[in-house]
Amino acid sequence: SMLVKKAQASAEAGFTLIELMIVIAIIGILAAIAIPQYEQYIATSKATTVTTDFHQMVTQATAAEAAAAAGQTTSVTVPGGATGVVDGYQFTTTPTAANGVATVAPGTSVTITMTTHGASPTVEKDVAADLSAMNLQGSGSGAGTSTSTYCGSTTTGDCNVVVSTNGGLTFSN
Protein backbone atom coordinates (compact mmCIF):
# COMPACT_ATOMS: atom_id res chain seq x y z
CA SER A 1 0.00 0.00 0.00
CA MET A 2 2.88 2.35 0.81
CA LEU A 3 4.56 1.49 -2.50
CA VAL A 4 1.37 2.25 -4.42
CA LYS A 5 0.99 5.64 -2.71
CA LYS A 6 4.63 6.48 -3.52
CA ALA A 7 4.12 5.58 -7.19
CA GLN A 8 0.99 7.72 -7.38
CA ALA A 9 2.76 10.67 -5.76
CA SER A 10 5.66 10.55 -8.23
CA ALA A 11 3.24 10.19 -11.16
CA GLU A 12 1.50 13.39 -10.08
CA ALA A 13 4.75 15.31 -9.58
CA GLY A 14 5.22 16.18 -13.30
CA PHE A 15 8.40 16.18 -15.37
CA THR A 16 11.82 15.97 -13.83
CA LEU A 17 14.49 18.53 -14.57
CA ILE A 18 16.48 15.94 -16.54
CA GLU A 19 13.49 15.16 -18.76
CA LEU A 20 12.96 18.86 -19.52
CA MET A 21 16.67 19.37 -20.29
CA ILE A 22 16.63 16.43 -22.70
CA VAL A 23 13.62 17.85 -24.56
CA ILE A 24 15.26 21.30 -24.77
CA ALA A 25 18.49 19.74 -26.07
CA ILE A 26 16.61 17.84 -28.77
CA ILE A 27 14.77 21.00 -29.86
CA GLY A 28 18.09 22.88 -29.97
CA ILE A 29 19.73 20.23 -32.15
CA LEU A 30 16.79 20.21 -34.57
CA ALA A 31 16.86 24.01 -34.79
CA ALA A 32 20.63 24.03 -35.39
CA ILE A 33 20.11 21.75 -38.38
CA ALA A 34 16.89 23.25 -39.78
CA ILE A 35 17.60 27.01 -39.65
CA PRO A 36 20.74 27.04 -41.90
CA GLN A 37 19.01 24.70 -44.38
CA TYR A 38 15.99 27.01 -44.49
CA GLU A 39 18.22 30.07 -45.05
CA GLN A 40 20.01 28.27 -47.92
CA TYR A 41 16.64 27.33 -49.43
CA ILE A 42 15.53 30.99 -49.34
CA ALA A 43 18.81 32.18 -50.95
CA THR A 44 18.54 29.53 -53.69
CA SER A 45 14.94 30.53 -54.35
CA LYS A 46 15.87 34.22 -54.66
CA ALA A 47 18.78 33.42 -57.00
CA THR A 48 16.50 31.31 -59.19
CA THR A 49 13.99 34.16 -59.39
CA VAL A 50 16.70 36.67 -60.37
CA THR A 51 18.27 34.47 -63.07
CA THR A 52 14.87 33.49 -64.47
CA ASP A 53 13.88 37.17 -64.68
CA PHE A 54 17.18 37.95 -66.43
CA HIS A 55 16.64 35.12 -68.93
CA GLN A 56 13.08 36.30 -69.63
CA MET A 57 14.35 39.84 -70.27
CA VAL A 58 16.93 38.54 -72.76
CA THR A 59 14.23 36.49 -74.49
CA GLN A 60 11.87 39.49 -74.59
CA ALA A 61 14.62 41.75 -75.96
CA THR A 62 15.48 39.24 -78.68
CA ALA A 63 11.80 39.00 -79.68
CA ALA A 64 11.49 42.79 -79.54
CA GLU A 65 14.48 43.16 -81.87
CA ALA A 66 12.90 40.71 -84.33
CA ALA A 67 9.66 42.71 -84.26
CA ALA A 68 11.61 45.98 -84.58
CA ALA A 69 13.42 44.57 -87.64
CA ALA A 70 9.94 44.12 -89.16
CA GLY A 71 9.25 47.81 -88.49
CA GLN A 72 7.19 47.43 -85.32
CA THR A 73 7.75 49.30 -82.06
CA THR A 74 7.70 46.82 -79.18
CA SER A 75 8.70 46.70 -75.53
CA VAL A 76 10.62 44.81 -72.87
CA THR A 77 9.14 44.50 -69.37
CA VAL A 78 11.59 45.12 -66.54
CA PRO A 79 11.16 42.82 -63.52
CA GLY A 80 10.32 44.71 -60.36
CA GLY A 81 8.21 47.30 -62.13
CA ALA A 82 9.20 50.95 -61.89
CA THR A 83 12.01 50.29 -59.39
CA GLY A 84 13.49 47.36 -61.30
CA VAL A 85 14.60 45.76 -58.02
CA VAL A 86 14.02 42.04 -57.45
CA ASP A 87 15.48 40.08 -54.51
CA GLY A 88 18.47 42.39 -54.10
CA TYR A 89 19.22 42.92 -57.82
CA GLN A 90 18.64 46.00 -59.96
CA PHE A 91 17.50 45.53 -63.57
CA THR A 92 17.98 48.42 -65.99
CA THR A 93 17.70 48.81 -69.74
CA THR A 94 18.85 51.03 -72.53
CA PRO A 95 16.61 52.45 -73.90
CA THR A 96 15.57 53.55 -70.43
CA ALA A 97 12.41 51.95 -69.07
CA ALA A 98 9.49 54.12 -68.06
CA ASN A 99 7.35 52.56 -65.31
CA GLY A 100 8.99 49.18 -65.84
CA VAL A 101 8.62 49.05 -69.64
CA ALA A 102 11.39 49.80 -72.16
CA THR A 103 10.18 50.72 -75.66
CA VAL A 104 12.22 49.22 -78.49
CA ALA A 105 11.98 51.15 -81.75
CA PRO A 106 13.28 49.89 -85.10
CA GLY A 107 17.06 50.30 -85.42
CA THR A 108 17.63 50.48 -81.64
CA SER A 109 19.70 47.87 -79.83
CA VAL A 110 18.76 46.89 -76.28
CA THR A 111 21.19 46.73 -73.36
CA ILE A 112 20.10 44.86 -70.23
CA THR A 113 22.07 45.38 -67.04
CA MET A 114 21.62 43.32 -63.89
CA THR A 115 23.61 44.49 -60.85
CA THR A 116 23.56 43.65 -57.18
CA HIS A 117 21.43 46.03 -55.15
CA GLY A 118 21.66 44.87 -51.55
CA ALA A 119 21.54 41.12 -52.16
CA SER A 120 23.12 38.92 -49.53
CA PRO A 121 26.53 37.38 -50.37
CA THR A 122 24.90 33.93 -50.45
CA VAL A 123 22.33 35.08 -53.04
CA GLU A 124 25.09 36.76 -55.08
CA LYS A 125 27.14 33.54 -55.18
CA ASP A 126 24.04 31.53 -56.12
CA VAL A 127 23.15 33.99 -58.91
CA ALA A 128 26.71 33.78 -60.29
CA ALA A 129 26.53 29.97 -60.20
CA ASP A 130 23.08 29.93 -61.84
CA LEU A 131 24.21 32.27 -64.63
CA SER A 132 27.26 30.13 -65.22
CA ALA A 133 25.14 26.97 -65.33
CA MET A 134 22.62 28.70 -67.61
CA ASN A 135 25.42 29.27 -70.13
CA LEU A 136 23.46 31.48 -72.52
CA GLN A 137 25.57 31.80 -75.66
CA GLY A 138 26.32 35.01 -77.48
CA SER A 139 25.50 35.09 -81.17
CA GLY A 140 26.00 37.40 -84.07
CA SER A 141 28.65 40.00 -83.25
CA GLY A 142 28.87 38.55 -79.72
CA ALA A 143 29.55 34.96 -80.77
CA GLY A 144 31.83 33.29 -78.26
CA THR A 145 30.60 35.29 -75.29
CA SER A 146 28.40 33.56 -72.74
CA THR A 147 26.90 33.95 -69.30
CA SER A 148 29.27 31.25 -67.99
CA THR A 149 32.33 33.22 -69.15
CA TYR A 150 31.29 36.77 -68.31
CA CYS A 151 28.36 36.77 -65.88
CA GLY A 152 29.06 33.71 -63.78
CA SER A 153 32.76 34.40 -63.39
CA THR A 154 32.29 36.93 -60.59
CA THR A 155 30.96 36.28 -57.11
CA THR A 156 28.24 38.93 -57.53
CA GLY A 157 26.53 37.58 -60.65
CA ASP A 158 26.41 41.07 -62.21
CA CYS A 159 25.73 40.83 -65.92
CA ASN A 160 25.26 42.96 -69.04
CA VAL A 161 23.93 41.81 -72.37
CA VAL A 162 23.57 43.82 -75.55
CA VAL A 163 20.90 42.56 -77.93
CA SER A 164 21.86 44.00 -81.29
CA THR A 165 19.41 45.05 -83.99
CA ASN A 166 20.01 41.73 -85.77
CA GLY A 167 19.21 39.80 -82.55
CA GLY A 168 22.84 38.97 -81.69
CA LEU A 169 23.81 38.69 -78.01
CA THR A 170 27.00 40.03 -76.44
CA PHE A 171 27.55 39.34 -72.73
CA SER A 172 29.90 41.22 -70.39
CA ASN A 173 30.26 41.99 -66.70
The DSSP bridge pattern shows strands 74-77 and 159-163 to be: unpaired
- Total domain count, the chain: 1
Pick the closest to residue 93 from 149, 134, 104, 138 (CA basis): 104
pTM greater than 0.95:
no
Q: What is the DSSP letter of 117?
A: S
Residues contacting 121, CB < 8 A, separation 6+: 155
Residue 61 or residue 154, greater confidence: 61
Distance of alpha carbon 4 from alpha carbon 142, whole angstroms: 88
The parent domain of residue 56 ranges over 5-172
Q: Residues of the chain with pLDDT > 90: what percent?
A: 46
Residue 87 or residue 153, greater confidence: 87
Residues contacting 70, CB < 8 A, separation 6+: none
Residue 117 or residue 6, greater confidence: 117
